[in-house]
Amino acid sequence: RASVQIGKPAPDFKATAVVDGAFKEVKLSDYKGKYVVLFFYPLDFTFVCPTEIIAFSDHAEDFHKLGCEVLGVSVDSQFTHLAWINTPRKEGGLGPLNIPLLADVSRSLSHDYGVLKDDEGIAYRYCRARWLTPVILALWEAEAGGSFKVRSSRPA
């Protein structure tokens, strides 16, 4: 399993994302000069993930004020992401989001970031934050229930 480390270059990627209800090709290098929080979640239409995704979306403006972009990733297709976004929250959907959701159908992004659960073909819940210099600054492992546990942090 590939892995990213603090102080090491982060793998660039290109993926189709759902942005404001439309499909858009997104590359990590598109965000050069900004902080990027890249978070992974197992699957769309699950019970814990919406809480985390909606929380990131609800705080997107706070992240933007800090020069930070938030991107969510799962192994689902952009079509599944769009269906989940178009499903009302009262019916188990996400509703409109303020952050992009990236499709990782090939699982290459999850693999390159070391979060692919090979036996199940899904991503672990992980959060990667990076400043595009390009080095990893911090890593978090998300616990079930939407709380985050800091696994590593930027050295002083």
Three-class SS state of 98: coil
User: Which element (helix H / strand E) includes 61?
Assistant: helix 60-65
Q: Is the dihedral of CA 89, 84, 143, 39 positive or negative?
A: negative
Q: Which of 4, 17, 38, 49 is catalytic?
A: 49
Contact 10, 4 (CB under 8 A): yes
Q: What does residue 53 show for φ and ψ, rounded to 5 degrees?
A: -65, -45
DSSP 10: P
Give me the amino acid identity at 74: S
Pairing of strands 126-131, 122-123: unpaired
In whole angstroms, what is the distance from residue 121 CA to residue 112 CA? 14
49 as an active site residue: the answer is yes
In whole angstroms, what is the distance from residue 33 CA to residue 30 CA? 9
Annotated catalytic sites, by residue? 49
